[in-house]
Structure 1
Amino acid sequence: MFGLAVRSLRKRAGGFAASFVAMFLGATMVMAFGAMQDTAISSDATGAAEETLVTMSIVVGGWGSALVILAVSSTLALSVRQRAEEMALLKSVGATPAQIGRMVVGEATGLALVAWLLAIGPGLLGGAALLSLLHSTDQVPESVPYAFGPVALGIGLTLTLVSAVASAIIAVTRIARAGVIRSLADAAVGRTRMSRKRVAFGIVFLLLGLNLAVVTATVMKDEGMDAMATAGQADIMASLGLALLAPWLIRWAAGVLSRPLELLFGVAGELAVSTLRRRTAQMASVLMPIILFTGVATGSLYLQQIENDATAAAGLVSTVEQKNIATLNFVVIGMILLFTAVILVNTLLAATAYRRGEFGRQRLVGATRGQVVGAVALEAAVLIGLGLVCGVVAAMFTVVPFSVARADALVPDIGPLVFVAVALIATALTAVTAITAAHRAAKISPVEAASL
């Protein structure tokens, strides 16, 4: 099965692209921040410099790790679901569930090791750029030299391997254990029901976010900028919770919007609604990064603006600690923008390319190429709208309580431009990628595409 895994990676390189990119970027990001811990240890930094380096490595690296795990699990699950028919055929010729499981885990392990090795160089350069940023803002003295060593390498390897192997095991378990007929049925219509564990984790993250929001508005109300410590985590928790519940959100949206879409857009609307209902899990893989992108970016940007306004209103000059936190917030935002944007694009490309056969069959039964592409555009529109709404809800877990704590107001006097900018970026990334990928996939002749 290990040999089969290696051959599968060679033959299906395109199918593993999204997972590989998630692992590569994740390892790069985690090692870059892990290098701050190596720098703190090797340089014997003390005081504020040591605190800054440790905070960067633990706080940002920790949340980055959570995003990496979610991204890797989502892309690997998509890849495994797309191969349900292949696995059913393997079982029909005698392969056991354990053998199929070892094959998928072997593929994930191989991907993880290659991704980690290739990420060492970019991780090293990223860590150097991060320390240079801290030097330029006087948060770490110029005398503190850069170090990239065992902490960065160990964290990068461990996170990449663990997230890849664990995600592969979870993704393949249900498919491997199901009978041949059940597996073929799942491959044809997809799986729409969420596991109880996923629902439980989604609810737990939402409750944790709510708890942090309440603590920010009450316990931290008179604690000044210290309230950022709890408020800054609330929208991340809420975004993760809503992202995990993405399949349920898509089913709900499809039910509410089915009639309007069918009446307004005809065949394209019917195709879009059918896909949202049948391929809920695949669509959820696209919705998740939209929610994370919108929720965390919006919450973090408004958080920093509220703090800046509160400091200015009090007639105070920003301290070194405030500059440190501002830098941390902008680094987090930049990290999330880059990571989730790339994952969103890669997931959309992988999911749309896989549907070439579906597009061909739709055209063979009478749908035009324009109707097929139009259906994909409508699917993207639904996902964008749903993602933006969920992102706003998640951001409110941070914005409202922090505004209460720092400005004594439920709604900050800032305006919607920050959210509009975030929404435009998310919309452009999703719409352009989805429509372009669908256009390319629909270029293949219907007969040729239907056989894929």
Structure 2
Amino acid sequence: MLRLAFGQIRTRPATFAGLATALFMAVTAITLFGSLIAASVVSPPAYAGQPGLVIIGGAFGEIAVLVALFVVVNTLGFAIRQQHRDLALLRTVAATPRQVRGLVRRQVLIVVLLVSPAGWAAGALGAHRLLGALVDRDLVPAGSRIPFTPVPAAAASVIALLLGMLSAVVAARPVCRVAPAVALGESVGGDRRFGPIRTPAGFLALAGGGGLCLAVARQPPDKAGQGALLATLVLMVAVALLGPLFTVAVVTVLGLSVRVVAPRSGRLADANLRGYAARLSSAVVPLALLTALACAFLSLGDTVKDAAHHLSGTELTSVNSAGDVWLRQVELTILVCFGGVSTVNTLAALTAARRREFALLTLVGATRRQLASMLCAECLLITAVGTLTGTAVAGVSVSSFSVTLPGSPLPSMHPAGYGSIAAGVAALAALGILLTGLRATSGPATETVAGQRG
């Protein structure tokens, strides 16, 4: 079974690229923040006014682990869908659901082992640089140092493996929950059902995110900011679980305008996206996560700035100190790097996996220019849905923070900052979809149809 798992990874590098990137970033982030926590053991104690290494490492690590779980579940789900036919064939030749789940777990184990050394090195380097910046800004005591210990690196790999194993349980369920013949049929036509667990879990996460927003609204301003970020992630979990339900509805509405502007390519793009709900959700969710995190971080700062004239000097310092602002910027940078790399890999893998589909369209008369127009329309729709979804999630969560401040209860977001976020998300979508799609449409169509699996 281990040899079969390795063979699937070796023959499908594009499929597992997103998962490898997500797990690499998880190992890197956990090693980095774990090293900061380890440094607290050998470093001088923090004095009044300093947050301390344990608080910084713990707060950052908590958000990093949640984002890692979110991205790993999404990318592994895509990898399993790309193997759906192969796994269904295994079921038809007497492989049990337990054996299929074991195969997926071994794939996760192999990927974690492959990416861990690079993640350890990147995390250790980042920890040393971040600690130096914290000392320079007097956020931690002078003389703080990173101890030489393998504990953070080992813990990072173990946590990444646990995240992957948890994701495997969720991702492998569609091919394991049904009879082998049904699983094989779904590998051809696609599974249009939304299982008995996913949808209730999505509404449960939605209720949990709403409850967390209400709790944040009752906190003092200096504590409500981190709670708002946590609420953003919980609401994004709900979006991921309910993605196939709402993304198709949103695309149906937005697709009308695209079909008017570009009747042929727009109609084809709209039909493709609505016809493959799972694929659409996998493409939209990373963009929405990136938009939601970036908007939440920037909106928190802008909201505090707009409420500054209503706050006393002491209140303003406690909510918006220079150190806190810098720490938020560092956290945003790390999470944007995490989300950005994973987004590009996921979109590129999704598009590359459609090579056979593009070849079939070519054989029935579509020109390369028409395929490029269709990809542009799809990219526009996916970017619009992801950006609007992320903006809505961030608006709800940051509203729970803004009501704790005097002045307007609505969150603030300066147009230039939001424009930069939207432009960045659009650029990542174009990089992942258009460039990969243009490459996937090249080459002889007959050879692609005859030689490519799935």
| Residue equivalent to 2:239 | 242
Give the conservation status (yes or no) of the 8 Å contact 1:35–1:148.
no
| Residue equivalent to 2:252 | 255
**2:333 matches 1:334:** yes
Give the conservation status (yes or no) of the 8 Å contact 1:120–1:153.
yes
| Equivalent-residue separation in structure 1 for 2:48 and 2:34 (angstroms) | 18
- Displacement of 1:313 in angstroms is 5.5
After superposition, the C-alpha distances for 1:259-309 in whole angstroms (9 at most, x for unaligned) are 544444233223212221232112211211111111121111111232244
AA of the residue aligned to 2:252: G
Give the conservation status (yes or no) of the 8 Å contact 1:271–1:375.
yes
| Equivalent-residue separation in structure 1 for 2:209 and 2:342 (angstroms) | 24
**3-state SS, counterpart of residue 192 of structure 2:** coil
- Displacement of 1:355 in angstroms is 0.4
Q: Which moved more, 1:12-21 or 1:173-182?
A: 173-182
- Displacement of 1:195 in angstroms is 3.1
| Equivalent-residue separation in structure 2 for 1:146 and 1:450 (angstroms) | 54
| Equivalent-residue separation in structure 2 for 1:85 and 1:167 (angstroms) | 20
- Displacement of 1:239 in angstroms is 2.9
Within 5 Å, give how 1:223-238 maps onto structure 2: 223-238=220-235
**2:109 matches 1:112:** no
AA of the residue aligned to 1:349: A
Q: Which moved more, 1:421-430 or 1:145-154?
A: 145-154
Within 5 Å, give how 1:60-75 maps onto structure 2: 60-75=60-75
**2:271 matches 1:268:** no
Say if 1:314 and 1:189 are closer, same or farther in 2 by CA, change over 3 A. same
| Residue equivalent to 2:144 | 144
Which of the residues 277, 284, 287 maps onto 1:280?
A: 277
Give the conservation status (yes or no) of the 8 Å contact 2:284–2:386.
yes
Say if 1:92 and 1:244 are closer, same or farther in 2 by CA, change over 3 A. closer
| Equivalent-residue separation in structure 2 for 1:316 and 1:108 (angstroms) | 51
Give the conservation status (yes or no) of the 8 Å contact 2:258–2:266.
yes
| Residue equivalent to 1:397 | 396
Within 5 Å, give how 1:283-322 maps onto structure 2: 283-311=280-308, 314=311, 316=313, 319=317, 322=321
**2:95 matches 1:98:** no
**2:16 matches 1:16:** yes
After superposition, the C-alpha distances for 1:398-450 in whole angstroms (9 at most, x for unaligned) are 43333332232033566322211111111111123211111000012221222
Give the conservation status (yes or no) of the 8 Å contact 1:205–1:238.
yes
Q: What stretches of structure 1 of length at least 5 have no aligned partner?
A: none
Q: Which moved more, 1:131-140 or 1:194-203?
A: 194-203
| Equivalent-residue separation in structure 2 for 1:52 and 1:331 (angstroms) | 16
Give the conservation status (yes or no) of the 8 Å contact 1:287–1:387.
yes
**3-state SS, counterpart of residue 95 of structure 2:** coil
Give the conservation status (yes or no) of the 8 Å contact 2:31–2:124.
yes
What is the Cα-based RMSD across aligned positions, in Å?
2.4
Give the conservation status (yes or no) of the 8 Å contact 1:243–1:289.
no
Give the conservation status (yes or no) of the 8 Å contact 1:359–1:372.
yes
Number of aligned residue pairs: give it.
449
| Residue equivalent to 1:3 | 3
- Displacement of 1:254 in angstroms is 3.5
| Equivalent-residue separation in structure 1 for 2:373 and 2:157 (angstroms) | 42
Within 5 Å, give how 1:184-195 maps onto structure 2: 184-195=184-195
- Displacement of 1:94 in angstroms is 4.2
Give the conservation status (yes or no) of the 8 Å contact 1:254–1:273.
yes
State the identity as a percent. 27
After superposition, the C-alpha distances for 1:351-400 in whole angstroms (9 at most, x for unaligned) are 11110001111111222222222222222211211111111211112433
Say if 1:314 and 1:346 are closer, same or farther in 2 by CA, change over 3 A. same
| Equivalent-residue separation in structure 1 for 2:411 and 2:180 (angstroms) | 56
**3-state SS, counterpart of residue 33 of structure 1:** helix
Within 5 Å, give how 1:194-233 maps onto structure 2: 194-217=194-217, 219-220=218-219, 223-233=220-230
Q: Which moved more, 1:353-362 or 1:54-63?
A: 54-63
Q: Which moved more, 1:138-147 or 1:410-419?
A: 410-419
| Residue equivalent to 2:418 | 419
- Displacement of 1:51 in angstroms is 3.9
TM-score by length of 2: 0.91
**3-state SS, counterpart of residue 409 of structure 1:** coil
After superposition, the C-alpha distances for 1:307-339 in whole angstroms (9 at most, x for unaligned) are 244446646387588333223321221122111
Give the conservation status (yes or no) of the 8 Å contact 2:66–2:233.
no
| Residue equivalent to 1:347 | 346
| Equivalent-residue separation in structure 2 for 1:237 and 1:170 (angstroms) | 17
Say if 1:201 and 1:67 are closer, same or farther in 2 by CA, change over 3 A. farther
**3-state SS, counterpart of residue 405 of structure 2:** helix
- Displacement of 1:104 in angstroms is 2.0
Q: Which moved more, 1:423-432 or 1:314-323?
A: 314-323
Say if 1:78 and 1:232 are closer, same or farther in 2 by CA, change over 3 A. closer
**2:179 matches 1:182:** no
Give the conservation status (yes or no) of the 8 Å contact 1:116–1:160.
no
**3-state SS, counterpart of residue 405 of structure 1:** coil
- Displacement of 1:257 in angstroms is 4.1
- Displacement of 1:150 in angstroms is 4.7
Say if 1:308 and 1:154 are closer, same or farther in 2 by CA, change over 3 A. farther
Q: Which moved more, 1:110-119 or 1:332-341?
A: 110-119
AA of the residue aligned to 2:91: K
Give the conservation status (yes or no) of the 8 Å contact 1:49–1:140.
no
AA of the residue aligned to 2:281: A
**2:388 matches 1:384:** no
| Equivalent-residue separation in structure 1 for 2:317 and 2:254 (angstroms) | 50
